[in-house]
Chains A and B, each alone.
Chain A
Amino acid sequence: MTSTASLHSVTHNGRRTDHEAAAANPFTVQGLTVAYHQKPVLWNVSFSAPVGCLTAIIGPNGAGKSTFLKAALGLIPKLSGETSVFGAPIKKQLARIAYVPQRSSVDWDFPATALDVVTMGLYGRIGWLRWPGKRHRAAAMQSLAAVGMQAFAQRQIGQLSGGQQQRIFLARALAQDADVYLMDEPFAGVDAATEKAIVDVLHQLVVSGKTVLVVHHDLETVRDYFSHVFLLNGQPIASGAVEDAFTPQNLQKAYGGRLASTQLQGLAAAAPHKA
């Protein structure tokens, strides 16, 4: 399952140094198990995000996709499991992580402007007892511009549309300037143009060497947007490049009877030429 990641870390003389191994594993989860009220949601899930790739986490409703991200980040209690980021425990590497929660997880009537929220992405770097200055506001404006929202900087966040709010969340993550981006359903309830804008930003991130992991539920767009997939249904089903892992057999395993066979054929037919 981690073959994609390890391919890149073999040096010319065939030996891997610890440093290189760490650089090749931006986000690795080992044996993650989570239960809500004695009901296991995730069972012994291990996964390593392919470095510098755009990966979709897919699976049916209730498969634990969001739970996987939250538990891996330590936001909710887990029964077992470890997360490492570039070879070190995640707790020490949070500066290299940017997390985009679901849009519905916050109260948008909060007294803040779009710029205020994006500036929150810089708080970790501003430090204690200091206030965001001109430099920070300029950096936040740049992130806003990257998602086409600079004209809305002074707007109260409650007055923004759902798609605009999602762009603000993405801009906040961009302001963090992390190496690994973890996003929970960034396309939920957004308009087509926003979806395209977000995908463009994600591709730019990957081009500049970042690793991006996205909880996604629209199977139709997986092939268009992502290079890698991680199929999850409580347990890991498959992971790898889209052409290898996004197969009718694996989808059948993950979704069971929930996908009609015609749908499976359709998704498989979209497959590009195979070797």
Chain B
Amino acid sequence: MHAFWQAITLQAGYNTALVCVGAAILGASAGAIGVFVLLRKRTLVSDAVSHATLPGVALAFIVGQLLFEAGRSLPLLLTGAAISAALGVLAVDAIKNHTRLNEDTAIGTVLSTFFALGMVLLTVIQSLQVSGQAGLEGFLLGATSGMLFSEAVLIAVAAGIIGAALLLRMKEFTLLCFDEQFAATSGYNVKALDRTLLILLVGIVVIGLKTVGLVLIVALAIIPPVAARFWTDRVPVLTAIAAGIGATGGYIGAAISASAPDMPTGGVIVLVLFTLFVISMLIAPARGVLAAALRHRRFQKVVHLRQGLLSLAHNEPVLEPLTARLLRRNGLLRGDGRPTPEGASLAHKTAQDQLLWNAYKQQAPEEALLMKDWSLRPIQEVLPPDVVKSLQDDLSLDSAPSANTLRSPL
């Protein structure tokens, strides 16, 4: 615990501090890029990218060993990883574009083939009995314990550059993800934008190999945006939150791993991210599970109250216990089952509103069916004024109850 506290407060030595900060920057960049990969509905591509790095890493090690007797040079290994990842992406695109197979199938084929090739090459390297090969296994599951100072700097700087590149083109990426056809007709080169996004993804995957490992790096690009999606409905905010979650996961994960060097860094980071995901899923106010349950409860009350008021307007008795309780609690119903003056007035207004809603449903049945607010809120709050006006004209009502007078008492 003491070791973990030292690591997380950046007091466990310069090297460990740098590894933690580097992992945080890596997590932030991967999370931010993941937002657009998620919105582009290409999350699985990141899995293909990461698995396709392995043969490149292995080949780069062999080449480095043969030429310079220094196979473990990180820049060399990462270059090899980037090249084979790019080949993997091109292979996926080629299969998708030139056959009738869909992207999932193409990804499955490419991912397993590249990974298989990488594993075979790793076995070959083991049989070569050369020095320095022990570090290669770190690329599978991630290991920060033996990381050199220069390697940590490389990871931090490269991840920072990739994150900054993403921010510069965020507006265009948003357009690409939402409406590709509109982007193309607005004069943007959609293919180039798509490729830029993929290059950034390949870049962050390659940078993250050493820290998180190729099996789990995909989680860094997927979990933060998915968790962030619970919190917001705006792309810039989503990107910021995803980057924050990614950074937190990377930082805490690296700190834990630094204080307990036997633990695989990648696994620890992913577990921290998963914890943040669960918290987001439960408590996020925008789309979280608890918020949804509360909203459902409130919705139930709105429905009951509305139906109770309509019963009152039609001089029908309110028999349903929850409805009667709600009406009484809001001072709309007396103990003897008769409406109070406020209750009668509100019931009348609600009935008028309902007439408009019914007219709308007759006029546009499909629309009304799909509309989640149909007849639950005053019609002016839901439909544009010109629609309401034409409904009023059709029914020759003088004016609909205004939104103010028809405020639901909840």
Question: Which residues of A are at the interface with B, using a C-beta cutoff of 8 A?
Answer: 70, 73-75, 94-95, 97-99, 101, 105-107, 110-113, 116-117, 120-121, 123-124, 126, 128-132, 148-149, 151-152, 156, 159, 161-164, 167, 172, 176, 189-194, 196-197
Contact mask for chain B residues 160-191; partner A; CB cutoff 8 A; 1 contact, 0 none: 00000000110110110111011011111000
* A191 in contact with B387 (CB, 8 Å): yes
Question: Which of the residues B39, B229, B233 comes within 8 Å of A113, measured between beta carbons?
Answer: B233
Decide: B179 and A191 in contact? CB cutoff 8 A. Answer: no
Given the interface pairs A111-B238, A123-B171, A167-B384, the reply to whether A106 lies near B185 with Cβ below 8 Å is no
A101 touches B370 (CB 8 A): no
B186-A94 in contact (CB<8A): yes
User: Which residues of chain B are near A149, meaning CB under 8 Å?
Assistant: 384
B150: CB under 8 A from chain A? no
B131, CB-defined interface residue at 8 Å:
no
- Interface 1/0 per residue, B182-210 and A, CB below 8 Å: 10111110000000000000000000000
B390 touches A124 (CB 8 A): no
Bound CA span A117–B179, Å: 10
In contact, B185 and A97 (Cβ under 8 angstroms): yes
Residue B386 at the chain A interface, CB threshold 8 Å: yes
Residues on A with C-beta less than 8 A from B185 are: 73, 75, 94, 97-99
Once the chains are docked, how many angstroms separate the CA of A77 from the CA of B68?
48
Q: Which of B168, B171, B187, B367 contacts A95 (CB 8 A)?
A: B187
Q: How far is the CA of A101 from the CA of B235 in the complex (A)?
A: 22
Q: Which of B174, B182, B390, B391 contacts A101, CB < 8 Å?
A: B182
Closest to A184 in B: B181
Are A99 and B181 CB-contacts (below 8 A) given A120-B175, A123-B172, A162-B367? yes
Quick check: A131 and B171 within 8 Å, CB to CB? yes
User: Is the beta-carbon distance between B184 and A73 smaller than 8 angstroms?
Assistant: yes
B108 at the A interface (CB under 8 A): no
Stretch at the interface among B211-219, B298-306, B323-331, B358-366: B358-366
Interface contact B364-A120, CB-CB below 8 Å: no
Sorted nearest first, the 3 A-B pairs with minimum C-beta distance are: A191-B364, A193-B387, A99-B185
Which of B177, B181, B370, B371 is A70 in contact with, Cβ under 8 Å? B181
Closest to A132 in B: B171
Q: How far is the CA of A126 from the CA of B188 in the complex (A)?
A: 13
Residue among A117, A159, A163 with most chain B CB within 10 A: A163
Residues of B within 8 A of A148 (CB): 384-386
Partner of A116, one of B235, B383, B387: B235
CB distance from B250 to the nearest CB of A (A): 23
Least CB distance, B87 to chain A, in whole angstroms:
25
Complex Cα distance, B296 from A151, in Å, reads 25
- Can you identify 22 A-B contacts, CB atoms within 8 angstroms? A75-B185, A98-B185, A105-B179, A106-B178, A107-B178, A111-B229, A111-B233, A112-B234, A112-B235, A120-B174, A121-B186, A124-B186, A128-B168, A131-B171, A148-B385, A152-B384, A161-B370, A162-B367, A172-B182, A191-B363, A192-B363, A196-B390
- Give A124 to B367 CA distance when docked, in angstroms: 33
Q: What's the nearest-Cβ distance from chain B to residue A224, in Å?
A: 16
Question: Which of A101, A110, A167, A176 is within 8 Å of B177, CB to CB?
Answer: A110
Indicate whether B372 reaches chain A with its CB closer than 8 angstroms.
yes
> Knowing A111-B233, A191-B364 touch, does A101 contact B372 (C-beta < 8 A)?
no
Closest B residue, CB atoms, query A111: B233
Contacts of B186 in A (CB 8 A): 94, 120-121, 123-124, 176
Determine which of A73, A110, A151, A197 lies in contact with B178 in the assembled complex, contact meaning CB atoms within 8 Å. A110
Q: Please give, as numbers and ranges, the residues of chain A lying within 8 Å of B366 by CB-CB distance.
A: 162, 189
Contacts of A129 in B (CB 8 A): 168
